[in-house]
Structure 1
Amino acid sequence: MTQPAHLPYGGIPTFARAPLVTPGGDWQADVAALGIPFDIALGFRPGARFAPRALREASLRSVPPFTGLDGVTRLSGVTFADAGDVILPSLEPELARQRISAAAESVRDRCSLPVFLGGDHSVTFPILRAFAGVPDLHVVQLDAHLDFTDTRNDTRFSNSSPFRRACEALPNLVHITTVGLRGLRFDPEAVSAARSRGHTLMPMVDVSSDLPGVLARLPRGKNVYLSVDVDGFDPSVIPGTSSPEPDGLTYAQGMRILAETARHNTIVGLDVVELAPNLDPTGRSELLMARLIMETLCAVDEFGSAQPGWTR
């Protein structure tokens, strides 16, 4: 007799009901989640520290495998693990970055595709240090903001600077494609530095006017790390974020970009950052972002010829 399954509001909320493990434990999985409850590098409203727990709870509504209207079953046989949260010091950011890098490296060693639940966007830099051995690494970033600033308010490690620090530290990080850029304020030096390095900057107006053209400019045949800043989405879709910008991505547009990236590349990692569930009393922000993670994994599964290592 099989054990009855919990309804979404019952049981212990691990990510997608995966077994709870530790980053350095004796386990292997196709997909593993690691929470990074860190938000002291924000420039505006805090709350991203609460996102890993909220995303886990929201993920209980979408536990694989999934059979769609087309009759295709996705994520069948794909194994999951939840590596818990990085234990972070509250006011020691350098020590926090060291622990994030160490935990991310341990999780990478034990799974094919790690999923990082942030946290503000500053955590992407120490996460990316765990990918220093990946050749020809590309990043596809969904974001309203460039996050390539050298310093902000005399701070070099804020959520405005993760990709600047990563490019300085990682010779293997060869290209960044940022989609969804918009807003009134951009750092001219950061824009110039990104363009001089050859990065691809696609503003939201391009997505709105020519989505096929945007999709055609995404990487092909590369090792890609996906970084999803939830403020890349329109605040009418995802209101729970520190620095919302109007006229952003719809859910459908964001998924088209992520699925197209998965179709043509090897996805080596995924993070979701800047989700502040305390700023959305409806709870829909975390529900939609948990769904987006699952749909991205479904896209990776569907185009599995580009994803070595799946045990399915």
Structure 2
Amino acid sequence: MTAPTHLPYGGIATFARAPIVHPDRDWQAFAAVLGIPYDIALGFRPGARFAPRALREASLRSVPPFTGLDGRVRLDPAQYPDPLIVDAGDVILPSLESELARERITAAARAVKSRCRLPIFLGGDHSVTYPLLRAFADVPDLHVIQLDAHLDFTDTRNDTRYSNSSPFRRAVEDLPNLVHITTFGLRGLRFDGEAVAAARARGHTLVPMEEVEAQFQDILAGLPAQRPVYLSVDVDAFDPAVLPGTSSPEPDGFSYALALRLIREVVRRHSVVALDVVELAPNLDLTGRSELLAARLIMETLAEVFDVRS
């Protein structure tokens, strides 16, 4: 007899009902979730510190294994000898010591990375991607594929070098193995001209939103095949009519279908070494649909990676 399970609103909220582990203990898994409840680097509306908890709660609606309309079973824990997914909790962060916060984020990410095949990081504002990327300094020929309305390559903003506008600028300064960044979904009226020029001078690929659907197959095909890719999804890449719960929404963004189509192509062409999802502010969307969409995207990305590697 199958043991009874909680409905989505019952029980303890770990991600997808995954067992809880400590980043530094002895465990192995296919995927591991790590929360980074940090948003003191924002330039506009706060709230991303609440995202890891909200994503865990939203994930309870879709617990593996999944069965599609065609009857196909995906992300079946029975197909993997170790736990399919575990929840490594949240990084314990000091409230206002930003350098110490970055050190702890990097250390926790390294610990999780060493124990699973796909780390999944729940931000947090986009500044956390820089200390997360430092955990991948040992991955040669690393590429970043970024879904984002904004470039996040600014040198300084309001005399601040470590804001959510600068994670990739700091990363390329610090990580010689990070060879290329491709950003999909750029749009808006607030671009930093120096940042755009610096990214282009380094050879980064900048894809405006209006060109994504027409060009992304050619752009992905132009990247060296089967390279390690760190996938960073800023939820403001989505149209705010689809996902309103974010600090700096920009009109005319991704639909869910187009974003998932792009992620599928990335997973099938390259080796995804990690996923982060950042800038979700659940307090800015009282309907709860923003975290439901983001949790679903994480689940579908995990299923795609598992299908490819299985």
Q: TM-score range by the shorter chain?
A: over 0.9
User: RMSD between aligned alpha carbons?
Assistant: 1.2
Question: Judging changes above 3 Å, is the alpha-carbon distance between structure 1 residues 11 and 270 closer, same or farther for their aligned structure 2 residues?
Answer: same
Any idea what SS the aligned residue of 1:303 has? helix
Q: Distance in 1 between matches of 2:277 and 2:183?
A: 15
C-alpha change, 1:219 and 1:241, in structure 2 (3 Å) is farther
**Contact preservation (8 Å) 1:143, 1:231:** yes
Alignment of 1:210-221 (within 5 A): 210=215, 212-217=217-222, 220-221=225-226
- Structure 1: which 5+ residue stretches go unaligned? 305-311
Give CA-to-partner distance per residue, 1:68-116, whole Å, 9 cap, x none.
1233211113411000000000010000000000000000011110000
Structure 1 SS opposite 2:199: helix
TM-score by length of 1: 0.95
1:2 and 2:2 are equivalent in the alignment: yes
Code of the residue aligned with 1:205 in structure 2: it is E
- In the other structure, the counterpart of 1:309 is none
Report how far residue 298 of structure 1 moved. 1.3
**Where does 1:91-170 land on structure 2 (aligned, <5 Å)?**
91-170=96-175
Partner Cα separation in structure 2 for residue 172 and residue 121 of structure 1: 20
Q: Which residue of 2 aligns with 1:308?
A: none
Note the C-alpha offset of 1:216.
3.9
Distance in 2, Cα, partners of 1:182 & 1:276: 20
- Distance in 1 of aligned mates of 2:182 and 2:32: 25
1:301 counterpart residue number? 306
Q: Which residue of 2 aligns with 1:184?
A: 189
Identify the residue that residue 19 of structure 2 maps to in structure 1.
Answer: 19
Say if 1:219 and 1:261, in contact at 8 Å, map to a contact too.
Answer: no
Q: Which digits, 9 at most, give the CA deviation of each residue in 1:252-304, with x for residues without a partner?
A: 11101111000011110000000000000000000000000011111112222
SS at the partner of 1:13? coil
- Distance in 1 (alpha carbons) for counterparts of 2:212 and 2:157: 28
**1:269 aligned residue:** 274
SS in 1 for 2:114: helix
Extract unaligned runs of 5+ from structure 2: none
* 1:289 maps onto 2:294 in alignment: yes
What secondary structure does 2:182 align onto? strand
> 1: CA distance between counterparts of 2:147 and 2:221?
16
- Matched with 1:36 is 36
List per-residue Cα deviations over 1:144-196 (Å, max 9, x = no partner): 00000000000000000000000011010000000000001111111111111
When residues 54 and 156 of structure 1 are mapped into structure 2, their CA distance, relative to the original with a 3 A threshold, is same
Shift of 1:218: 5.5
Question: Tell me, what secondary structure is at the counterpart of 2:49?
Answer: helix
TM-score by length of 2: 0.96
